[in-house]
Amino acid sequence: MPDLHFLPDDRIVGVRAGTTILKAAIDAGLPHAHVCGGHARCSTCRVVIVDGLDRCGARNAKEQSIAARLNCGPEIRLACQTDVSGDVTLRRLVLDPEDVELTDLRRSSGRRRVGEEKHVAVLFADIRGFTAFAETHLAYDVIHILRRLFRDMARVVDEHGGVVTTFMGDGFMALFGAGDAGDAAPDQAVHAGVRILEVADAAEPWLDDLVGQRLEINVGIHYGDAVVGTIRDLSSNDVVTAIGDTVNMASRIEAANKATGTRLLISSETLAAVREPVTLGRSFRVALPGKLGEHELFEVVAGSQSGPPPSRATLPSSGRGVSKAVLAAAAVALIGALLVLMLVAIVR
Ligand code: FES
């Protein structure tokens, strides 16, 4: 049976061949950070092999990918992906007791999570031209307006099953699907987005009275994978947050509203996952900052939860705001008119 010599603890643990270093450490009761739960999605379990690198199994594809991304030398290994066939001496690299304690939260239940990869819908809402607005109005007025607008919009998010994770001065980020929404997350996010714009429209007379100006709200939504976890604030409240490309993408989509002259844009991934009816406007192929290639974005102009439930979202036929439903209605009307003309001709 091979021996694993753990440093700096100076503990020797016997392991069966093929056992990963992480499993050996956990089985032996050694504190070993493993934030992603051993799925090769973080780097907290990494170790440096001091002796016996040739007795470690070769890197698998997942470990190779992380090693390339972090520019790790061959002696740096992910403990959760590395098994051994003989004696090995290694040193854990993430030794901070707080890191290990936070990792151990993974075992706790409920909402207090270290991190979990989920399919979520991320919504960004932002006030366009806020900097200029803030510069030309009294700070207390600006704060008052933000508090009222964002309170009402956060309420909308909550009513649609989402959670506002971050307020960023002139905008906020909301997450749908962080709990158990499952496939409903895209519908929840899109209909929340529509409702947020309605809230903004309804606030116009109030804003006009208060500061003689309206504020334009833009919304962007993307649906994809993100690591969802909780961060504990100083009041010991757990705040849900999400990290990943899906979050960045949603932020870029929201910003694209400025160039496209729209108010609510969603990605093609979001549209593909939406099951309840929404009315689409224009579609665009745009390059997004920091993202390769062009991305297809769709303008949502209305939700139609009260209408008859079609099998999927209404797609624009030409990217110019004409829906399939409208074309179908026109075709039915045309056929009806032709039949009437034929009957008149026969009667004569
Ligand atoms: S625990 Fe995350 S990569 Fe090993």
Q: How far is the CA of 63 from the centre of ligand 1 (A)?
A: 9
More confidently predicted of 302 and 330? 302
Both 148 and 17 in one domain: the answer is: no
169's tokens:
């001065």
Mean pLDDT within 250-279? 95
Both 157 and 79 in one domain: the answer is: no
Strand partners, 232: 238
Match 């990217």 to its residue by tokens.
319
Model confidence band, residue 127 (pLDDT cutoffs 50, 70, 90): very high
Instruction: Give pLDDT, residue 94.
Output: 79
Ligand 1 pocket residues where CB is under 6 Å = 34-36, 38, 40-42, 44-45, 78, 80
Instruction: Give pLDDT, residue 112.
Output: 47
Burial of residue 68 (CB within 10 Å: 0-12, 13-18, 19+) is: exposed
Both 52 and 148 in one domain: the answer is: no
pLDDT at 335 over 60: no
**Which residue has the CA at smallest separation from atom 3 of ligand 1?**
40
CATH number for the domain that contains residue 242: 3.30.70.1230
Both 97 and 188 in one domain: the answer is: no
Both 183 and 246 in one domain: the answer is: yes
pLDDT in tens, 138-186: 888 888 899 899 999 999 999 999 999 988 888 999 999 987 756 899 9
Mean pLDDT of the chain: 82
Can you give the pTM of this predicted structure?
0.66
Asked whether residue 343 is assigned to any structural domain, the reply reads no
Instruction: Give pLDDT, residue 41.
Output: 86
Asked whether residue 121 is assigned to any structural domain, the reply reads yes
Q: How far is the CA of 122 from the centre of ligand 1 (A)?
A: 25
Task: Using the 3D structure, point to which of 107, 134, 154 is the last residue of a domain.
Answer: 107
Asked whether residue 326 is assigned to any structural domain, the reply reads no
Structurally, the chain folds into a number of domains equal to 2
Both 98 and 44 in one domain: the answer is: yes
Q: How far is the CA of 324 from the centre of ligand 1 (A)?
A: 48
Asked whether residue 332 is assigned to any structural domain, the reply reads no
Could you list the residue range(s) of the whole structural domain that residue 229 is in?
116-316
Cα(143)–Cα(209) distance, integer angstroms: 16
CATH number for the domain that contains residue 60: 3.10.20.30
Asked whether residue 333 is assigned to any structural domain, the reply reads no
Asked whether residue 340 is assigned to any structural domain, the reply reads no
Q: Which of 32, 41, 102, 103 maximizes ligand 1 atoms within 8 Å of its Cβ, making it the mutation to test the pocket?
A: 41
Q: Among residues of the chain, what percentage have pLDDT more than 90? A: 48
Instruction: Give pLDDT, residue 109.
Output: 46
Asked whether residue 208 is assigned to any structural domain, the reply reads yes
Asked whether residue 334 is assigned to any structural domain, the reply reads no
Give the closest residue to 226 by CA, choosing from 286, 293, 171, 173. 173
Both 102 and 127 in one domain: the answer is: no
